[in-house]
Structure 1
Amino acid sequence: MHTKKQRVHFIAIGGSVMHNLAIALKEAGHDVSGSDDEIFEPSRSTLTKHGLLPEKEGWFPELITSSLDVVVLGMHARKDNPELLKAQQLGLKILSFPEYIYEQSRDKQRIVISGSHGKTTTTAIIIHVLNYFKRKFDYIIGAKVPGIEYTVRLSNAPIIIIEGDEYLCSPLDPTPKFLKYQHHIGVITGIAWDHVNVFPSEEEYVRQFDLFADQTPKGGILIYCEQDSMALMIGKKERADVQEITYKSHGHASDNNGHFFLTNGKERTPIKVFGNHNFQNLSAAKEVLKKIGITQEQFFEAIASFEGAAGRLQKVFDNTTSTVYKDFAHAPSKVKATVKAMKEFYPSRDLVACLELHTYSSLNKKFLPQYKDSMKAAQTQVVYFNPDKVKDKNLEAISVDDVRSAFASNGMQVFTDANELQAFLEKQNWKNKNLLMMSSGNFGGINIPALSEKILS
Structure 2
Amino acid sequence: MHSLAISLANSGYQVTGSDDKIYDPSLTRLKKNNILPNDFGWFPEKISNDLDFVILGMHAQKNNPELLRAKELNLNIVSYPEFIYNFSKNKTRIVIGGSHGKTTITSMILHVLNDNNFLIDYVLGAQLEGFDNAVSLSTENEFILIEGDEYLSSPVDPTPKFHKYKANIALISGISWDHVNVFDNPEFYAKQFDLFIDSIVDGGVLIFNELDSLLSDIVKDNNSFIRKIEYNIPEYSVSNNNVFINTSEGNIPLQVFGEHNLSNIEAAKKICSLLGVLDDDFYNSIATFKGASKRLEIIYRGLNNLLIRDFAHSPSKLKASVNAVRGTFSNKFLIAVFELHTFSSLDPKFIQQYSGCLDNCDLPIIFLDNNNKKIYNSESINDEVISSAFNIKNLIIIKSNIDLFNYLTSLKYDNACLLLMSSGNFGLLDLDDIKKYMNNEC
Q: Equivalent pairs: percent with the same residue?
A: 43
The reply on whether 1:80 has 2:63 as its aligned counterpart is yes
Moved more, 213-222 or 268-277: 213-222
Following superposition, the deviation at residue 453 of structure 1 comes to 2.2
For residue 264 of structure 1, the aligned residue among 248, 271, 276 is 248
Following superposition, the deviation at residue 250 of structure 1 comes to 1.2
Aligned partners of 1:137 and 1:159 also within 8 Å: yes
Query: Following superposition of structure 1 onto structure 2, how do residues 46-445 of structure 1 map, counting pairs within 5 Å?
Result: 46-155=29-138, 156-256=140-240, 258-264=242-248, 267-389=250-372, 394-445=377-428
CA distances 1:78-107 after superposition (whole Å, capped 9, x unpaired): 110000000000010000000000011000
TM-score (norm 1): 0.94
**What value does the CA root-mean-square deviation take over the aligned residues?**
1.3
Query: How many aligned positions are there?
Result: 439
CA distances 1:177-203 after superposition (whole Å, capped 9, x unpaired): 000000001100011000000101111
C-alpha spacing 1:83/1:89, structure 2 compared with 1 (3 Å): same
Aligned-partner Cα distance in 2 for 1:356–1:229:
29
CA distances 1:347-389 after superposition (whole Å, capped 9, x unpaired): 1111000011111111112211111110110000001012442
CA distances 1:383-423 after superposition (whole Å, capped 9, x unpaired): 10124425566333411221111100131010011111111
Aligned to 1:39: 22
Aligned-partner Cα distance in 1 for 2:196–2:308:
33
Aligned partners of 1:386 and 1:417 also within 8 Å: yes
Following superposition, the deviation at residue 48 of structure 1 comes to 1.4
TM-score (norm 2): 0.97
Aligned-partner Cα distance in 1 for 2:322–2:218:
27
Q: Tell me the SS of whatever aligns to 2:277.
A: coil
C-alpha spacing 1:106/1:181, structure 2 compared with 1 (3 Å): same
CA distances 1:295-329 after superposition (whole Å, capped 9, x unpaired): 11111111111111111011111112111000011
Structure 1's unaligned 5+ residue stretches are 1-17
Aligned-partner Cα distance in 1 for 2:431–2:387:
24
Q: Tell me the SS of whatever aligns to 1:259.
A: strand
Following superposition, the deviation at residue 240 of structure 1 comes to 4.5
Aligned-partner Cα distance in 2 for 1:247–1:217:
21
Q: Tell me the SS of whatever aligns to 1:244.
A: strand
Q: Tell me the SS of whatever aligns to 2:409.
A: helix
The reply on whether 1:446 has 2:429 as its aligned counterpart is yes
Following superposition, the deviation at residue 43 of structure 1 comes to 1.0
Structure 2's unaligned 5+ residue stretches are none
Following superposition, the deviation at residue 216 of structure 1 comes to 2.0
Q: Tell me the SS of whatever aligns to 1:414.
A: strand
Aligned-partner Cα distance in 2 for 1:34–1:27:
15
C-alpha spacing 1:240/1:63, structure 2 compared with 1 (3 Å): closer
Aligned-partner Cα distance in 2 for 1:355–1:101:
34
C-alpha spacing 1:323/1:416, structure 2 compared with 1 (3 Å): same
Aligned-partner Cα distance in 2 for 1:238–1:421:
48
Moved more, 33-42 or 186-195: 33-42
